[in-house]
Structure 1
Amino acid sequence: MNAFLLPSVLHKYKHGFVICYYIPDNIKFHVVHRLRPQQDGKPRTIVATFERRKDRDRVLKAARDNLKDTQYSIYEQFPNEIMERRNILWPIFKREQRAGRRVRFKEDKLYVTDELIKSYDICVFCESKTDDLDILNVPKGYEYFSKNRQKFDRKSGGIVVVFKNLLKSHLSFLSSDSEYVLWLKFNLRHEPNFLLGCVYIPPENSRYSSVEAFDEVENELIFFQEENIHTILIGDFNARCGTGRDFIFPNDDLAQILNFDGADVIDNYFHSFQKLILYDIPLDRANEDTGRCNTFGSKLLSFCKNNNMFICNGRVGSDKGVGRVTSSQTSLIDYCIVSPDLFPLLSEFEVIDFDPLYSDVHCRLHVIFSTGVTTDLHNNDSTPNTVNIPVRWNNEMKDQFVNMVEDKISTEDLFKKLVTLNVESDTFQPDIDNFVDFFNSIFIDSAHNCFW
């Protein structure tokens, strides 16, 4: 059954005639009734439940096409749990709309144009709740790689990495058994190589979690670790570790007793924290999360000590000396963890304010590494030293320009492409973006051929 809310008018069936005028076939209702009078004196709302879903869809379409800029409106009535979610997202809808972005609701989901992803080279999404049958619509110029949870029938967990196409030849996604981490390697010319681990470890009391989760991640890190490769781990660790020390402070007396002096590997291990002092990174971390260190927090600190990695939260960027909480405004459980030699390359680190558009309770981590990668990675033309020459209009060539445009596509072909667009489709936004790009390319290519 599909219920609708319709504003009542003075004449009982006037609104019904407005809609049915555009839908000549009979509409079958299960029940139609009016709600109680409103205190503000506005017309009473009519609730209509349809017998057939297709009738509901036709009425919705007719309302969108013919009731715009009128005093009448039709909208779908949702269950309370969906309405609660929509009410949370409504301020975001208005905010994005005022910013000039295309936004639309579909039940309790809000779809916005892809500015967030397009502002990054790589985006990591934890707890994606995807499976191997899902096909994701990502912005043009981007691709994605996903690692989905396999041990449970219900969709849960999962990690998705969205990246620019221009980086594809420099990325290698590494196959591994653990469902808690997705590994990828950066192979950059004339630059140090990077190993990125995208982590999602479920809460320690969850049936999806395991006390062996951190051990699995550590074993795979050791397996993929190479000499002269820098390591980054980022994601949701569900670990609360307070301001506990994430490195070993050596005891010089013990080192002499055990005769560690002169062993370079061991010496580097015990004194890696001195690199933070060299890079002017504080040894002590700030943390707004004053809760006790949980089991996973202790495991995370041990993981960092075992592998010479350091927590960025509360140490660098705008989060230096702050250590903002990242979940439910109470706990810090999302981290970026790096090898010490990466700190000079870490130019920005920020915990972004919570936004229900992107997560249920988590804040986003914004991280930028300045690697000195050649600018051709960010240029649609990968040929180095390409000079962009502006195209100027030449009135003497206007007829040739028009002919070139008409040769590329006819008005009839253009119309056929337009009518295939379905505003109700989940892929409508990328479809319309592709159409606009195609339409623009006709004029741009013709201009290049005529005026250069």
Structure 2
Amino acid sequence: MKNRKKVTKTRSGGITVGYKEHLKTMIEIIDTECKYVMWFQVNGKAFNLDKPVVFGVVYIPPEYTRYSSDEAVNEIEQEFLRFSNISNYICLLGDFNARTGCDDDFVIINEDEHGDNNLSDFIENPINALEALSIPTKRESMDKGKNRYGNMLLNFCKGNGFFILNGRLGRDQNIGRFTCRNASVVDYCISTPELLKTFKDFEVLDSSKLLSDVHNPLSITFFCDKNLAIAHAENVDYFSKKNTFTKIKRWNSEKIKDFQNNIDVEKIAELEYKLTNTDLTVVNKNMINSLIDDLCNIFVKSGQTTFGTYTVKQNKKRGGILEIRINPGLMRNVNLHVKITGN
């Protein structure tokens, strides 16, 4: 978590990154000085890439507020340049509070102007990366307005070779759906050209008061290594050397009585004792998770005894996708999910 340290009378915010525990071996949080971005990297093997994929979760406070800073984009850029020496697979996503309209996020290079001096042989036209993947060069946006932070973001993209995915990719292609108050686009996912080939989908989801105050969540889906998807679905370590794992056989209603009889009553008594003697004034998330884990383990053990188990071998023919969801709001957070596809 990266949050504001200053105590105020009004609600403050911050950035969090959340992921399933069994994905922890492939994800590394990177501590930096900039308070406007929280960096983490994902092992490149998950994407079938030779280098790690670096993500930056961004929150830039709105213009003309007590927390606003004209140096926010510059600070993020300095840290990006440092990471670009490690990997060219970099993605920034979150609440930029930038309105960019439909303006270009790239510099148009006219190759005809450089034909005589062969300079075009040394200039990489960024549009080529989009055209090679059949991604529109012109993005759409329902928000036609612009602000100063929007110009800063566009200049950042032009200067560092980033592309805005909003209105250009996946289910948001040719739409550019509003991301805030159904009136503006201020939340973005931007990517370096080299990473574009790994994107499967981009979508602006419906708003939810449970997730945010006024923002819409962003859902970004990547193609990933098939074994990562299988490992996630079966709740096993992706980097484990094991090629097989154990599962409980399907539920059989005819064995309900056996299931009930196989529940460890001593474990139930221990759990009941813990619940009865828990001080409710000091209950925290870790304590709740521990109690739930204890309860689940009791049922799992009974299921193993009642229905039996079988060994599963990883299916080499199945593919996977890695899904990242951004929930901008009072607390900006990112959650990583992995799904199995039939590809």
Same fold at TM > 0.5: yes
Q: Do the aligned residues in 2 keep the contact of 1:199 with 1:237 (CA within 8 Å)?
A: yes
Q: Do the aligned residues in 1 keep the contact of 2:168 with 2:176 (CA within 8 Å)?
A: yes
1:279 to 111, 133, 154: 133
Q: Secondary structure at the match of 1:160?
A: strand
**1:366 CA drift (Å):** 1.3
Distance 1:403 1:388 in 2: 18
2:106 to 247, 256, 259: 247
1:409 to 267, 270, 291: 267
Distance 2:198 2:293 in 1: 35
Aligned pairs (5 A) from 1:26-105: none
Q: Secondary structure at the match of 1:366?
A: strand
TM-score normalised per structure 2:
0.75
Aligned pairs (5 A) from 1:53-452: 146-150=1-5, 152-154=6-8, 156-189=12-45, 191-192=48-49, 193-226=52-85, 228-256=87-115, 260-263=119-122, 267-268=123-124, 271-291=125-145, 293-374=146-227, 375-382=230-237, 383-388=242-247, 390=249, 402=261, 405-406=264-265, 408-409=266-267, 411=269, 413-420=270-277, 427=284, 434-449=290-305, 452=308
Aligned pair in 2 of structure 1 residues 415, 178: CA closer, same or farther (>3 Å)? closer
Q: Do the aligned residues in 1 keep the contact of 2:262 with 2:302 (CA within 8 Å)?
A: no
Show structure 2 runs of 5+ residues with no match.
Answer: 309-343
- 1:231-250 CA-to-partner distances (Å, cap 9, x unmatched) read 11100001111001001111
Distance 1:400 1:272 in 2: 61
Letter in 2 for 1:311: I
**1:399 CA drift (Å):** 9.0
Q: Do the aligned residues in 2 keep the contact of 1:166 with 1:378 (CA within 8 Å)?
A: no
Letter in 2 for 1:289: D
Distance 2:23 2:134 in 1: 31
Distance 2:299 2:206 in 1: 41
**Identical pairs, percent:** 34
Aligned pair in 2 of structure 1 residues 347, 223: CA closer, same or farther (>3 Å)? same
Letter in 1 for 2:182: Q
**1:164 CA drift (Å):** 1.2
Q: Secondary structure at the match of 2:141?
A: coil
Q: In structure 2, what is the equivalent of residue 11 of structure 1?
A: none
The alignment's C-alpha RMSD in Å is: 3.2
Q: Which moved further from structure 2: 176-185 or 439-448?
A: 439-448
Distance 2:307 2:177 in 1: 55
Distance 1:176 1:349 in 2: 27
Q: Do the aligned residues in 2 keep the contact of 1:401 with 1:450 (CA within 8 Å)?
A: no
Q: Which has the higher contact order (CA 8 A, sep 6+)?
A: 2
Letter in 2 for 1:275: A
Q: Secondary structure at the match of 2:28?
A: strand
Q: Do the aligned residues in 2 keep the contact of 1:171 with 1:184 (CA within 8 Å)?
A: yes
Aligned pair in 2 of structure 1 residues 325, 399: CA closer, same or farther (>3 Å)? closer
Letter in 2 for 1:148: N
Distance 1:250 1:342 in 2: 21
Aligned pair in 2 of structure 1 residues 392, 334: CA closer, same or farther (>3 Å)? closer
Distance 1:216 1:149 in 2: 16
Q: Which moved further from structure 2: 305-314 or 222-231?
A: 222-231
Distance 2:140 2:221 in 1: 20
Q: Do the aligned residues in 2 keep the contact of 1:186 with 1:194 (CA within 8 Å)?
A: yes
Q: In structure 2, what is the equivalent of residue 33 of structure 1?
A: none
- 1:79-110 CA-to-partner distances (Å, cap 9, x unmatched) read xxxxxxxxxxxxxxxxxxxxxxxxxxxxxxxx
Aligned pair in 2 of structure 1 residues 257, 298: CA closer, same or farther (>3 Å)? farther
Greater Rg over alpha carbons, structure: 1
Distance 2:205 2:211 in 1: 11
Q: Do the aligned residues in 1 keep the contact of 2:181 with 2:214 (CA within 8 Å)?
A: yes
Q: In structure 2, what is the equivalent of residue 84 of structure 1?
A: none
Q: Which moved further from structure 2: 155-164 or 199-208?
A: 155-164
Aligned pair in 2 of structure 1 residues 373, 198: CA closer, same or farther (>3 Å)? farther
Aligned length: 296
Q: Do the aligned residues in 2 keep the contact of 1:183 with 1:195 (CA within 8 Å)?
A: yes
Aligned pair in 2 of structure 1 residues 361, 222: CA closer, same or farther (>3 Å)? same
**1:389 CA drift (Å):** 5.1
Show structure 1 runs of 5+ residues with no match.
Answer: 1-145
**1:262 CA drift (Å):** 3.6
